[in-house]
């Protein structure tokens, strides 16, 4: 499986995880300029922007360790655009990371980091 297929499978598993935990998935792979957010979901209280990181092994560290400051800044811009397009500025938001290791395998591991980082 190449890295694009691995990423797609991880995003699918993350969307399933969110739905099974009471989230409503509102959008997937929303793009603004050159940036993207993997999943936009909602709880009863807030809009949740989710970055999904998928890896087949931990050879290069845990998946969640690959969300750096540059990616966070991109996510903030994408979130602002998504909210603006829908006239939802000022809505409570949260930024989560879902880490998926070995998606689709028997020893698959999904870790959901709620409030992984905050808008600066």
| Span 24-54, pLDDT tens digits | 999 999 999 999 999 999 999 999 999 999 8
For residue 2, count CB atoms less than 10 angstroms from its CB and return exposed for 0-12, middle for 13-18, buried for 19 or more: exposed
Distance CA(67)–CA(119), nearest Å, equals 14
Residues 80 and 37 sit within 8 Å (Cβ to Cβ): no
Domain 3-117: which CATH class? alpha beta
Helix (H, G, I), strand (E, B) or coil at 111: strand
Mean pLDDT of 57-66: 75
Residue 120: which pLDDT band, with cuts at 50, 70 and 90?
A: low
pTM: 0.91
Domain residue ranges in the chain: 3-117
């Amino acid at each position: 499986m190449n890295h694009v297929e691995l990423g797609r499978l991880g995003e699918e598993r993350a969307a399933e995880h969110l739905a099974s935990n009471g989230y409503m998935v509102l959008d997937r792979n929303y793009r603004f300029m050159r940036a993207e957010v993997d999943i936009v979901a909602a709880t009863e209280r807030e809009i949740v922007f989710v970055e999904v990181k998928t890896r087949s092994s931990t050879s290069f560290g845990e998946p969640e360790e690959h969300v750096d400051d540059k990616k966070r800044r991109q996510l903030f811009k994408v979130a602002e655009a998504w909210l603006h397009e829908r006239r939802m500025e000022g809505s409570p938001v949260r930024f989560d990371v879902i880490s998926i290791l070995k998606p689709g395998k028997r020893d698959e591991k999904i870790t959901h980091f709620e409030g992984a980082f905050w808008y600066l």
